[in-house]
Amino acid sequence: GLPDDQIQKGKDIKSVSEIVQDGKKFKVTVTTGTKVLHNEFTIGEECEMEMLTGEKVKAVVQLEGNKLIANLKGLKSVTELNGDTITNTLTMGDLTYKRISKRI
């Protein structure tokens, strides 16, 4: 795993996510420090998505209930909205990253 100081740095980083839905079309903007990540997609259609590393990959995002699910090069992303809480879970192999955000 990561050293404790690296884990703490990750916890200390402030990130703002904006999700705009228009029917089956979504626009997602994630701002972390000076890095801004923009992705647009339509549910069930192939799209190109930028990963946090800057790499662009093709993916199909599905909507299952209140969950947006995408598989990006072996990385499974599940974003779940419950009221004013967004839970994003990333899974790659036996590693799992979970981030919980509140609406502002």
pLDDT band at 88 (very low <50, low <70, confident <90, very high): very high
% residues pLDDT > 90 (the chain): 60
Give me the residue spans of the domains in the chain.
12-102
Average pLDDT score, the chain:
89
- Average pLDDT (70-76) is 90
Sheet arrangement for strand 95-102: 46-50, 56-64, 67-72, 75-82, 85-92, 95-102
Contact 62, 70 (CB under 8 A): yes
Global pTM value: 0.80
DSSP β-bridge partners for residue 58: 48
Burial (CB count within 10 angstroms: exposed 0-12, middle 13-18, buried 19+), residue 33 = exposed
- Write down the CATH number for the domain with range 12-102: 2.40.128.20
